[in-house]
Every structure is written in C-alpha cells, then in structure tokens.
Amino acid sequence: MHRAWRRVLNIALFLEIHEIISLLTLLTLTFLYSIHLNLGTFVETTREITVTAGLITRTVFLIMLLMLGMIVAFPKWRFIGYAQLVFRIMTSFLIMLLSYEIVMRYIQLMGHTMYDHLLQKWDSFLFFGKQPAEWMDKLNTLPMTSLLSGAYLAWFPFCYGTIFLLLIKSRRAALEYATVALTSFYIGNIGYVLVPAVGPLFTHEFSTVVGGLTAKMLDPGFYKPVANCFPSLHTCISVVMLVQVWKYFRKMIWVYTPVTALIVFSTVYLRIHYAVDVFVGVVLAILTTICIPVIMTLWERLREQKARSQFTMIPIEINDNSIGRQREA
C-alpha cells in the first residue's frame, strides 16, 4: 500500500495543478453518471459532444494538435518548452470544455429544478423591487446594445488570448493564469449543478425588447437555454484576467480594464445573468486569484524537495580495515 501511494505521488508530482483538477473532474463526472444514470449514457454523451463540438472547442483542439506537431517535429527547438506548456494547458482547456458540456447534459438528464425564481427574488431585494436589467432600460439604444454585444463576445478571444499574452512575460505568468482560470471554471460547474438557472432572458417578462446578441439568443435555431447562470463565469474569468494582467503585464491594463468593465456590465444589460450571478463571480475570482498561486508555490516546493531527496547521497562508513582489504585485493 505504501509503495502504491508513493507511485501515485510520483506521477502526480509530474503533473501541474490544472491537470490534476482536470483529471479529478472527469473522474467525478464519470462517478456521477454511473451512480445517477449509467456509464453507457456517459460514453454516449461524450461521443455526441465530440461530434457536435463548436468553434471554440475545435479551435482549442487545433492549437493543441499544432503544439503536439511542433513537439514531435522539432524536439531540439529553442522554444520547445513553451510549446509543451501550451500543449498541456490547451489539453486542460479542452477537458474543461468537454466537462462543461457533460455537466449541462447531466443537469438536463436529471431534470433538476431551476432556481431562477430564487435568483430573481435576490435581485429584486438588492435593487428595490426591480430586476437590474429593468433599471437599465433607459440605456437601451442600438449603439449601446451593439457595443455590449461585442464586449460579451470579445470575452472568448480574450479568455484564450491572455494565455499567449502572459507567455510573452514568463512561463509562470501563463501557467498561473491558466490554473486560476481553469479552477474557476470547474468551481463554476459545481455552482451550475447546485443552483441551476437559465437566466432572466428566458424566465422574466420585460416590458422592452433588447436587440443585438439578446435577440439572437431568443432564436431557438441560434441558441438553446442551458443552466449556466450561477455564478457568472464571464464575470469571474474577466476579473481573473484583469488581476493576472495587472500582476504580470501591467502595460496592458489600459486595454483590459475597460474591456472587463464592459463585459461585466453586458452580462446584466443583455439579460443573460442576474446581478447576484455577477457578485458571486467576482467573489469566486478574488478567492481563486488569492488561493491558487499559494497552492502552486507549495506544489513547486514539494517537487523541489522530492527532486533533492532523489539526488541525496547515502553516506558510506569507511574504516582502515576495509581500505586495507581493498589494497590487498
């Protein structure tokens, strides 16, 4: 038992924190499906998701394949270490995207009760009896809607592009951002399971109509509502990006600050999220940006200790008699 544990630890020490969390997430989802549904459903769900993968998933997969090709074709390349890092990060992001879809299917198959009514009550309590989006009706103009629709969609290239931006500064910067972001994603998935909700756009009757992305999302041919409201990961990851850029690439803070503000505002204006989703998203971002770097530092120290212990020489006791026997021989 002791030897088996040591082997598991040695394998785990080879992995990064985000890789361990990704693998644990897949194991947890497999367990949930096997307990509440069955493994056949899990396999079929995974197969359907891979076949119907969207643009983002396919792009991440292509980047992963590109990095793998470079690793195999140019093993002595000067920047091969960066290619390996991006490959491993993109693999974890691919697992995250797969896990997200599996969680959405799980909530649907289990028929979980939606908690939109509860989130609406919290928003009404916080905003004087109205939904926050209703207070924003006065801002409802075509230029504002177009700007915020673009900001909401800009989140996707910023989310993945920040990896490469921070990679310019250092390996640690890119790895830390990826680990914090992926951890936030996985915790967000737990929130989706515990408090499933589809958002105010699909559950609340508004007196005005918002165009842009909001109108598109009401089209069943373009978008199907899923329980991905609580917390707002658009908000959470935006704040994570802002903090990591402030920490490692401060020159870009003038770009990320207004983009982050617009993205967060757009989630409520476009009626995609409740304000409470945004608040929880901010809290989650603060917690992960504080805790994950500490955990990563502890993990690196554990690796260093393990590496030193492997190269420690065992002292050999030598006496005059043994030397004399060696000389005689």
Q: Given this model, what pLDDT does residue 131 score? A: 94
In angstroms, rounded to a whole number, what is the distance separating the alpha carbons of residues 5 and 37?
A: 31
**Could you give the count of Cα atoms lying within 13 Å of 40 in the half-sphere of its Cβ?**
0
Q: Closest Cα partner for 240 from 171, 292, 289?
A: 289
Please identify every stretch of the chain with a pLDDT value under 50, giving residue numbers as ranges.
313-329
Q: Given this model, what pLDDT does residue 210 score? A: 94
Per residue, the 3-state secondary structure of 244-264, as one string, reads: HHHHHCHHHHHHHHHHHHHHH
Cis (ω within 30 of 0) for the bond into 220?
A: no
Q: Given this model, what pLDDT does residue 114 score? A: 96
Packed helices 171-194 and 233-248: angle between N→C axes, nearest 10 degrees: 160
In angstroms, rounded to a whole number, what is the distance separating the alpha carbons of residues 273 and 280?
A: 11
> What is the torsional sign of CA 273, 198, 239, 216?
negative
Q: Given this model, what pLDDT does residue 318 score? A: 38
In angstroms, rounded to a whole number, what is the distance separating the alpha carbons of residues 305 and 311?
A: 10
Taking only the tens place, the pLDDT of each residue in 292-307 is: 999 999 999 988 887 7
Q: Can you list the alpha helix ranges (DSSP code H) found in the chain? A: 2-14, 17-36, 39-51, 55-73, 80-110, 116-126, 132-135, 142-169, 171-194, 200-203, 212-217, 233-248, 253-269, 275-310, 320-328
Q: Closest Cα partner for 273 from 207, 208, 191?
A: 191
Q: Given this model, what pLDDT does residue 328 score? A: 43
Amino acid sitting at position 49: I
In angstroms, rounded to a whole number, what is the distance separating the alpha carbons of residues 202 and 191?
A: 19
